[in-house]
Structure 1
């Protein structure tokens, strides 16, 4: 069902308007059939976690994956924001924003209008429009099977379809063709993984990309998984997620949230409390298929910025020194590759005191790409 509402947001620095809408998106993508049955209880979930993180897990025998092709249509919730051209005439194109695990699209305007945690405001002030969206299973987008559908390649197919329709000017009646035909991609964490996948599989769809909270090694993935203890979302927050399947997972509480996403004392505890209250589950399917998202982007000829917090837990196990440079070397065909470590920052870059400093690095980079 197609619907939208128009929101007019005023700012003392720069006025802009946003349109919220939902569109049906049809995709075809490979999916992996998990080599184990769906969880019946949280005991099953923790049992699998124990097996995945055991010392011998990398060497344990496993059956070959069963791959099936999925063709389906999903409802995807989006928000398009653009500068008020009466006050800001230089439209530089559209940034497509892909959020990570544990969030929905509100990650990009987390603090609301006028907040230092609002990435969208920084992009608007720099002359860009933005298109943020809820990935499958999050926010206002379709709730799907968390074992066999809410997987990396399917999420990538959604991002690819949205980008194509945006470029063609047929995404929504309130979303014009990008100014100058320029489309940029900004991801966070799993959203960066998907953005990297887009550069690998459809390199001509993006004029420039920013991968935040990301590198190729995922050095802290076991720490992330273990710290969540694979809480079933339906039990952790029954009021919000009581109808979810057992493949919908989360972490226990705000302390686990802090461990994974935030670096003390460089955040406001009120921000952590808000992030915990508004968290979204991740799917078991996303965890077991992150390596199935292609990352050979040697054919991508645009520009790439890799930016992470210096003490990112999930991708760097708490120390990102040297990790971005090794990832940058894989982008062999790009015109420009840059790296930046945001000081005093954990995995959730947008939720720290110095978020605006990181925003400036991103907007300056994309401004140079546009030029």
Structure 2
């Protein structure tokens, strides 16, 4: 009887909670950054992208070093698209001084919606947990060159890690000073939370400007980047404007329809299905990895969009298979999330690829708490059950819970974070080291606390797995435990 009353009370609390209040804003920023200068010709074709990949991944020489000609201080004015969310309050006025704001930075291939995924009625929303359940405020943003933020023409020498860290610094200053456009809030405590490349940037900020951040959570991260070249090779990068011409090129849907009709692309697909012994599924598999699939998807199902006409220095991975390989742990994500993620992927630049591993080795003066949250496998058969129970305690109606009991308890779990763990975060080769992310402890000699947490049955993109909400709560609990709780 008591258990039933407890469950009903949890449901009542969820129903009575005041939903977060969010505002979409455009933030003008002016930066100066010490960027690298590379001696490379602009990419013009997918063959050029293949050559770039081959050179970058070659063991003959460090491609970044061989093409580097020096450094230059660049100055730029950019517009950064951001979303600010704060707790909904009743009976009182929201007071930012009483809480902590989380500055959220997405990784490669995503935009700011990584933190507030609309898929399946926002059941994978990080901000819903952080804001509605823990009382934090959040600011997520599209990194330079992504989404609705500015897309500099020079993707090689402008859109680099160092410039993006300076943008992160400016956003941090605005949060502390209360000068964020349209947001009348100043925060005394700012924590930086990143995913993947966003974690690299948050880490670099803590190294260069240790007084600007009160805490770090680095999701999808370790300080070992030796597996990134293999990941980049697996992406089989294409020019974004050719891979997703309706989104990133300069061609409209009516033009594609006209071209498809002229070339009889649609008729060919229909003819193949009727006259040959080929199923619709097989046809889909055949064209999945080509631009044809993207064109047809754009004709049939995607909403009207304005092509961004990106320069050729913006690239993206080839197809959904490359997406799954890098970001998802088979068996532990909703199969519908993969086509959703592929349809909402975002480009990366040649400059970012060449500078992604060029950050500082340590953050010697940072004194706040650090948590690394990386995907891993379940070491014991009963961990998925415990994970389900944890999810049930907090959110009985969440979609991850609905599917979590379907996860096989004895799934072998060989693939997890490929990018920063090489596929197994526990394969340290050292009996006294618990995990690969745990080796980053030495990079934070003055941190007030350090924790390397391996989220069970999760790949590199933690937020898009069945048990993501449990991971979100581990992250919030870490901040609360170390005095950085919400309002």
Q: Structure 1-normalised TM-score?
A: 0.92
- Alignment correspondent of 1:134: 142
- Alignment correspondent of 1:215: 222
- Match among 81, 89, 98 for residue 105 of structure 2: 98
Whether 1:341 and 2:349 are equivalent positions in the alignment is no
- Alignment correspondent of 1:282: 348
Counting only pairs closer than 5 Å after superposition, residues 16-165 of structure 1 correspond to structure 2 as 16-58=20-62, 62=66, 64-86=68-90, 92-111=99-118, 115-124=122-131, 125-144=133-152, 145-165=154-174
Is 1:97–1:132's contact at 8 Å kept on the other side of the alignment?
Answer: yes
Deviations 1:80-120 (A, max 9, x none): 10001218979521000000000100000013695331000
- Match among 319, 322, 334 for residue 253 of structure 1: 319
> Cα RMSD between the aligned structures?
1.9
Partners of 1:170 and 1:367 in 2: CA distance: 26
Q: Which runs of 5+ in 2 are unaligned?
A: 1-13, 250-308, 377-415, 427-434
How far the C-alpha of 1:370 sits from its partner, in A, is 2.2
Is 2:40–2:67's contact at 8 Å kept on the other side of the alignment?
Answer: no
Q: Helix, strand or coil for the counterpart of 1:314?
A: helix
Deviations 1:140-193 (A, max 9, x none): 100112111110000000000110111011112324012xx1111110000000
Q: Helix, strand or coil for the counterpart of 1:159?
A: helix
In the alignment of these two chains, the number of paired residues is 359
Q: Helix, strand or coil for the counterpart of 2:32?
A: strand
Is 2:221–2:420's contact at 8 Å kept on the other side of the alignment?
Answer: yes
Q: Helix, strand or coil for the counterpart of 1:319?
A: coil
- Match among 302, 312, 316 for residue 421 of structure 2: 316
Whether 1:331 and 2:339 are equivalent positions in the alignment is no
Partners of 2:29 and 2:40 in 1: CA distance: 29
Is 1:33–1:148's contact at 8 Å kept on the other side of the alignment?
Answer: yes
- Alignment correspondent of 2:11: none
Q: Helix, strand or coil for the counterpart of 2:457?
A: coil
Q: Which moved more, 1:34-43 or 1:84-93?
A: 84-93
Partners of 2:346 and 2:321 in 1: CA distance: 16
Return the index of the structure with the highest Cα Rg. Answer: 2
Is 1:102–1:280's contact at 8 Å kept on the other side of the alignment?
Answer: yes
Partners of 1:230 and 1:338 in 2: CA distance: 34
- Alignment correspondent of 1:231: 238
Q: Which moved more, 1:68-77 or 1:111-120?
A: 111-120
Structure with greater helix percent: 2
Partners of 1:240 and 1:221 in 2: CA distance: 27
Partners of 1:194 and 1:60 in 2: CA distance: 18
Q: Which runs of 5+ in 1 are unaligned?
A: 1-10
Q: Helix, strand or coil for the counterpart of 1:356?
A: helix
- Alignment correspondent of 2:338: 272
Q: Helix, strand or coil for the counterpart of 1:292?
A: coil
How far the C-alpha of 1:337 sits from its partner, in A, is 0.6
Is 2:64–2:354's contact at 8 Å kept on the other side of the alignment?
Answer: no
Partners of 2:88 and 2:28 in 1: CA distance: 28
